[in-house]
Every structure is written in structure tokens, then in C-alpha cells.
Amino acid sequence: MHLNSTSMRIVSPGALRVFLATGMLLWALSATGQSEPRISTSIDTLSIRIGEQVNFTITVEADTTAQVIFPEGQTFSPLETVESFQTDTTRHDERMTLLKTYALTQFDSGVYLLPTQHIEINGKGYFTDSLLVSVATVPVDTTVQKMYDIKPLMEVRGRSLAWLGWIAVLLLLAGGAYYWFFMRKKPLTPQEEEALLPPFERAMRELKRLEDSRYLIQDEYKQYYTELTAIVRSYLEEEVHISALESTTAELIIKLEMLRDAGQLKLDADTLKQFRRILETADLVKFAKSKPPAGDAERDRKDVELIVVKTHETLPEPTEEELLEQEAYREALQAKKRRKRLWMAAASLAALLLIAGIASVGIFGYQRVHDSVLGTPTKSLLEGEWVASSYGFPPIILESPEVLYRRELELSEEARAQIRSMAVFASDNPRANLSVMVNSTLLADPKTEPDFEASIEEVLKRLEQAGARNIITKQEEFSTVSGVKGIKVYGTARLTAPDSGATIEGEYNILLFGGNGFLQQVVLSWERGDAYAEQIVARILKTLEVKTIV
């Protein structure tokens, strides 16, 4: 046999090994290149006018088995997300191409940075490039644009306006009461003005008032002499600083004589003798029912007035300490008046609040007044800003009063072996006794049907571990707005409040959806009898939507 050297070459073993190694390396690089995802972005325009929309598209090329999660919500700030369109999917052999488009806008002129977006592929994060979008103002030509009259005011009826009216009335009344009792300069009463007068002027005024009285005409001599001696005794006690009110006639005269002998009171003997006679006459009238002539009674009043004048003239000028005592008395009197006004204002405000409370309860009902005044956590959640978002894969879409955050669940080794991936998101509000949890799970075997009964038992077991007791369960079919059917397990239980540890009567809902290779759960729990919590749950169920395409 003869071999032609031109038709066949013999390759050495070393060269053959190099050739095979190179081929394997090229095949591995080719396989790696095919499995690595590719991400690109596009935008239809970089310049818009105020209110116009720009379409931003994210393209992902990956294996058909890849799990891709696109950004959701207001992640494009400062641009606002108008709409997030459905993902367009095309497949070619073992690869697929996903197109996700977002409609964005802005209502203020300027240049805005469209930030990088996070895309999760098989649990690994990827980021897009950032872009600059210019937003221009819209010119207004008043010569072309028609001008219209201002529309008339529209009457808005609602209980909120009634509440604003009540609040305004209460504030006006409270402000008026504060001004009347605290800010307004209230004039002094005649009694208060007289109490602030010096002792001499006050005594002369009281003697003048006694002169104008009708005691002598009505033969009321006892009352006449009682006031007469009280006036002069009070004057001596305040001006001369002796205990005149509690002294007998003899004791009072002795004290005055001692002051005269000491040079502190310059009254002659005739004046003291005359004063003694007046006091003794008053004692006879008050205790012996004596009745002197009317002329003597009037003369005694004039003599007392003369004694007061002489005493005042003989006294030295008041010292600084005495003036301070008088000032302290005035301040004490003013403080007493302020305390009285304060108590009156507090009583008026309490009465006003009581009347307003009774009227409000009669108009709006006790429960609404209680919730508006004291506040109810679930009422605040219901009336606050809600969050619409998509959670997990396959996605669970719903609206909730609070953002649901990712949670980690501890799973047994057996459970981990049956699960490819699990995404759990939850929100717990201890003050409102409200809990929302969603769970989207991909099973290890894509062809395995989910075990709903086992999932229900697992959720109930977790409720018991959290302190739930006396769990009563019912089951029925549930359909989302788009018609996706699932299972709803609901009932009542004794739940444990997370913040205080106290037990409360609660209710719960467990909703299950699923298909080949995946399971979706929504678990809600709240306090039984809370009308606002029931409205929150009803709204969540009304907005609940699930995507069952894996």
C-alpha cells in the first residue's frame, strides 16, 4: 500500500491535544457568552415640552429560564412615571428578548437627570446608563389663544367643610374669651377703687357716705354708730398702726395717750377726751339700746371727721417701707383679680368645649367625633397616600397604605430543596394592629403543581407561633378583577398585639394563587370590629392582581 503524501497528513499527538484544548476553550467562551444577559436602553427623544411624555425602553436579552425583575414605581424621579407598559417578550431558541417601556413626564422646565435603573436578573443586579432630558416651557400667544371669563365659584358640600366651620367657630370663641378675660383692660369696680385709696381718703369717703345715709331718719342708731366707730377704728389701725378694731374703748384711748406721750401722735387732751365721749356714746347705743338726739348723732359724726383730719395732719409722711407695703397690697389685689379671671376663662372654655362636643356628637355621631379628636391609626392609613406596586416574581400587584418591604423567612432543609426562589414582602403596623404580607415562590420543579393545603397549614402554623389562638377557618373561591381564580381562606382568631403583647379579637384572610412551578400568597390580618381596617382590607382585595405567566 502506498500513501500519497500530498493527500494526507499525519498530525502529531501533541498538536492534537493543543487543537482539542483550543476547541474546548472556544466552546466554553461561546457558551458563556450565550448565557450572560445583555441590557440596553433607548429613548425616543431627549427634549420635550412641559407636560409632554418621553418613552424610555429597557431591552434585556437573556436565557429563557432567567428571572427578570424590572423597576416599578416612581424610580425615575425627578421625572414622573405616567405609565408602565406591559413587558413585550420574544423568544428565539434558548434566548429571549424582553422590552419594557415607561412613559415619563415633567411639569417644570429645566434639564433633568434620568437616573440609572436597577434590573434584577436571577438575583443579580444590573444598572442602566443615566441620561439628561431637557424640558422646555410652552410659549403662550395671547393674540391667538382665546381668553375666557373666570368660571363662577362652585359650591362644595361635604362634612369636611362642616368640620372646618366648627373649628373656625371654636377658635373665634376661644380667641374672644382670651381677649375678654386677659387682654382687655377691665375697669375697676367702685369697691376695688376704694380699696386702693389711701386710708385717710377712704375714711373721709366712708364718712361722707354715712352722712348721706338714712339711718337717723329711720331711727337706726345702732347701725349708724356701729359704722361710725368702725370707720374711725379702721383708719387708726391702718394709719397709726395700732390694734384699734379689737380694743375696747378704754384700751384704745390708753394706746392713743401713750403714742401722744411718746411724741408719735400730736393730739391734744381735749381731742382725746372728745373721742372718748363718742366711743362711750356708741357703746351705750350698741349695748344698752340708748337713743341720743338726732342732733347729737350728727355732731358726733362731724367730731369723728375732725379727729381723723387732725390725726392725719399730725402724722409724718409715709416712709419708703410703708409705700412698699401699699404697693405690695395693690399687687396682691391685682394677682387675686388675675386668678379670678383665669378661673372664669377656664370654666368658660370648659363649658364651650362641652357644648361643642355634645353638639358634634349629636350631628356627626360619637364614633366619628372620637376618631377625629383622639385619632385612629387605621383611619389615618385609610385616608393617607396609598402605594401601588408589584412584588416578587411571578408578580403580585396591589395597593397598600404602606410600602411592603422585603423579609427573610427561615425555611427547613426539606422546604429549601423544593423551592427555587422565594420573595416575601410585608408591612406590620403595631399601632393599627394591621399586617399585610405577600409571598411569590418559584418551585424547584417547573412542572410541579403547588400544594395549597400544605401552604394553608404552614400559614396557620406561623400564626400560632406568633401567638394566635382559637383560629376558626372558612374557605371559598376568590377571583381577581381580571378573572384570575384562587382560594380564599378566612376566619377569626385571638391575635397577639406586637407592641403590648395583649390579645385582641382579630380577623385574617389567606389568598392563594398558583400554577405549574409557582405559588403566590397574600396574608392579611387586622383587629375585629375596626371599620377602617375592614375598608383597608376591602380596598387591597379590590386592587389585588396576580400574573401567572412564568
The predicted-structure confidence for 392-405, as pLDDT tens digits, reads as follows: 888 899 999 998 99
**486, pLDDT greater than 80:** yes
In angstroms, the CA 428 to CA 449 distance is 30
Contact 200, 314 (CB under 8 A): no
Q: For residue 463, count CB atoms less than 10 angstroms from its CB and return exposed for 0-12, middle for 13-18, buried for 19 or more.
A: buried
Please tell me the predicted confidence (pLDDT) of residue 171.
Answer: 76
Higher pLDDT, 359 or 550: 359
**21, pLDDT greater than 50:** no
Q: What SS3 string covers 418-442?
A: HEEEEEEEEEEECCCCEEEEEEEEE
In this predicted model, what pLDDT tens digit does every residue of 177-224 receive, in sequence order?
766 666 666 666 777 677 778 888 889 999 999 999 999 888 899 999
Region 336-347: mean pLDDT is 77
Q: What is the CATH code for 190-314?
A: 1.20.120
Please tell me the predicted confidence (pLDDT) of residue 216.
Answer: 87
From 151-165, 213-227, 331-345, 398-412, the region with the lowest mean pLDDT: 151-165
Q: What is the CATH code for 377-546?
A: 3.40.1000
**1, pLDDT greater than 50:** no
Please tell me the predicted confidence (pLDDT) of residue 25.
Answer: 39
Entry field: residues in the chain? 550
Q: Where are the domains of the chain?
A: 57-136, 190-314, 317-370, 377-546
In angstroms, the CA 406 to CA 458 distance is 19
Question: What's phi and psi for 40, nearest 5 deg?
Answer: -140, 160
**139, pLDDT greater than 70:** no
Rounded to two decimals, the pTM is 0.41
